[in-house]
Amino acid sequence: MIDDYEKLKARYERLKLLYQVGSVIHSTLEPQPALLLIVREAARLMDASSCSVVLLNPTNGFLEIQASQGLPDKAESLRLHIG
């Protein structure tokens, strides 16, 4: 019985976090502010000191940081080539 309760409680916590992140994402329709909100919320929920969203630039094939929290300012200019 206690094991079932713990599983239910863990599932509730995951759903609550998912709802919170969804609320943050839908608070703006602009991509850049949305990414910043996602990064901040992810860092807060994971109790992380830093967090970033890295996307592949289809034009040049580099991975580029689009939004970050807790990284040095110069990290924003970092570009990584796949492979």
pLDDT digits (tens, 9 = 90+) for 10-20: 889 888 887 87
19 vs 25: CA distance, rounded Å = 10
Which pLDDT belongs to residue 38?
A: 84
| Cut 0.75: pTM above it | no
Instruction: Check whether 56 has a pLDDT greater than 90.
Output: yes
> Who's near 23: CB < 8 A, 6+ residues apart?
none
Left (φ > 0), alpha (ψ -120 to 50) or beta: where does 47 sit? left
